Structure 1
Amino acid sequence: MEDKKILTLLLGSPRIGGNTEKIADALAEGAAEKGYEARKVHLAALTLKGCLDCRKCWSTGKPCIQNDDMDQVYPEI
């Protein structure tokens, strides 16, 4: 059994349906023709905090200590 191929498209534009999303949709369509499952992540719709450079992720091997929506994105990437 072959592993499913997944293409994750990270969209940073706040404009839903704008040029960035149109390009992402075209990429997703082309990827689907090649057997990929395409997943779009609208980053502007999420609450994302910047890195604090606390290095907890490096020293503990655990995810970021920031309490934001990045926890939803990590599994996709």
Structure 2
Amino acid sequence: MKIVVISGSPHRSGTSAVLVDALIRGVLESGHQVTRFDAAFHRIQPCQACHACQQNGGVCVQRDDMDALHQSLLEAGAVVLASPIYYNDICGQLKTVIDRFYAKEQELKTPKRAALLLAFGDDSSDAVKGVLYNFRAMLGFFGWTLADTDIVAAYGCNSAEDVRKTDFPQDAYEVGRRMGMA
């Protein structure tokens, strides 16, 4: 199976990266392919809501790094989104990528598995209630499936070292192993 992991974090070695690295290890150990897309390090323009993509076969007028990601998304059997939480929401880099799914939304409405990795400093997972609501709504729109066990919400983690001192990396690893199973 091909699995796409989209991380929004602007930190290559931050809290989200610890979770992503663990998940990818689980996917690879299951013998499956993974494509990692670190949105903060790619050139992705915000959706202009011009709707041109809906008129010209799903081709966005903006020529940027979403072209390659769209192809990977279409080929994937599973999609994992990862983000640090800022002010009770996903980071802007990840939101920009999600908004650009619009160009291929009809083609993305195919059965896929999904997972969500979140890292944040708040002491309670209550800080991500809105994120979880929006994520589940998006998955419903696309027809993707999510098991509650495929969500890792690493609360109380202000640094990568904080994450490493918890069971959250092992949880992410297990999500990766399960994602690789058909």
Partner SS for 1:20? helix
Aligned positions of 1:17-28 closer than 5 A: 17-28=13-24
Query: 1:54 is matched with which residue?
Result: 50
Which amino acid is 1:33 matched to?
E
TM-score calculated relative to the size of structure 1: 0.82
* Cα shift at 1:27: 0.7
| 1:10-68 C-alpha deviation (Å, 9 max, x unpaired) | 01101001111111111111112222112211110111111111111111214100122
Question: Who is 2:28 aligned against?
Answer: 32
Query: What's the secondary structure of 2:28's corresponding residue?
Result: helix
Letter of the structure 2 residue corresponding to residue 51 of structure 1: C
Give the letter aligned to residue 60 of structure 1.
Answer: N
1:15 paired with 2:43, answer: no
Unaligned runs of 5+ in 2: 74-182
**Matched residues in 2 for 1:21 and 1:31: separation?**
15
Number of aligned residues: 73
Report the TM-score, using the length of structure 2 for normalisation. 0.38
Give the RMSD, CA atoms, in angstroms.
1.3
Runs of 4+ in 1 over 3 A off after TM superposition: none
Q: Whole-Å Cα distance in 1 between the matches of residues 64 and 35 of structure 2?
A: 20
| Percent of matched pairs sharing the same residue | 29
Alignment partners' CA distance in 2, 1:72 and 1:37? 16
